[in-house]
Amino acid sequence: MPRRRPGQIRDGVPGSHRTTGAGPVIDGLSSRALSEIIRLERTRNYLQPGDVSAAVGLWKNYVHQPERALWHDYEWGNVHWYCCGNPLEARALLDAVMQALSPRSARELRKIVSRSDVV
């Protein structure tokens, strides 16, 4: 019988560092803030794992659109929001998360979101 490589054995062990369920990745946040976001996503009933990073990405993509597209969405809405997510709801979710975080982590997240708000 052939011998299994150690890496193959470690891949199957729960709690190993090689698990595929990686946490959220938001550029510019410290590991402390990311761990606090993970804890919030697990403990709050209005959040699911990955919601905050998805909301940050959705908001960044939305505000980088041309101004005419933003104005059109403001007046009439967008039919793609039903399938792809509403960026205005994502921004409201980010506000709620910033209120729930510690002051230090909220400051880091607010700095990232404010960069997108200025654009």
Residue 18: pLDDT over 50: no
> From CA 98, how far away is CA 76, in angstroms rounded?
29
Is the pLDDT confidence value at 70 over 70? no
Ramachandran angles phi, psi of 111, nearest 5°:
-65, -40
Whether 32 has a pLDDT exceeding 80, the answer reads: yes
The pLDDT value recorded for residue 116 is 84
Q: Mean pLDDT over residues 88-107, rounded? A: 93
Confidence of residue 17 (pLDDT cuts 50, 70, 90): low
- Average the pLDDT over 104-111 and give the result: 94
Its pTM stands at 0.71
117 Cβ contact partners less than 8 Å away, ≥ 6 residues apart: 63
Name residues whose C-beta falls within 8 Å of residue 23's C-beta, 6 or more positions apart in sequence: 34, 35, 38, 49
- Angle (CA) 45-48-51 rounded to 5° is 125
Three-state DSSP at 80 gives coil
As a whole number, mean pLDDT of residues 84-89 equals 81
pLDDT top residue among 68 and 5: 5
Report the chain's mean pLDDT, rounded to a whole number. Answer: 80
The two counts, helices (H) then strands (E), for the chain are 7, 0
Residues listed for the chain: 119
**Model pLDDT, residue 103:** 95
